[in-house]
Amino acid sequence: MEARGFDYDAQICVDVVDNGALSSCTAGEGHTWGKTSAECVERSSAYLRSDVTVVAPFLAAAILADPALYREPRRYVRRLAEAETALDALWRR
């Protein structure tokens, strides 16, 4: 599987960045650890100062309302035997 940083970063937190509560949690810092892509830091990172229990219902409704965001399920559980065989082969080398 491809393992690269996320292309979107939405942070919902009651703390502010200025007081140090979010040090190392910003999108820019996440990019240095490979958690977010460079494009995410430049174009698609958002920080919302709010309580997540207030924002979550609106965020979920917005995401579920967009049919373009639906994708076919990958069904990784069905490929578990294949993954175990590959790992076993690597282990035995």
pLDDT at 70 over 90: no
pLDDT digits 0-9 by tens, 22-48: 655 777 777 777 777 777 778 888 778
Q: Which amino acid is at 62?
A: A
Q: How far is CA 5 from CA 8, 13, 78, in A?
A: 9, 21, 25
16 three-class SS = coil
CA atoms within 13 A of residue 65's CA, in its CB half-sphere: 6
Nearest alpha carbon to residue 29 among 50, 49, 14, 9: 9
Give the model's confidence band at 52: pLDDT under 50 very low, under 70 low, under 90 confident, else very high: confident
75 dihedral zone (left: phi>0; alpha: psi -120 to 50; beta) = left
pLDDT at 84 over 90: yes
pLDDT at 58 over 60: yes
Distance between CA atoms of residues 62 and 25, nearest Å: 24
pTM reported for the whole predicted model: 0.47
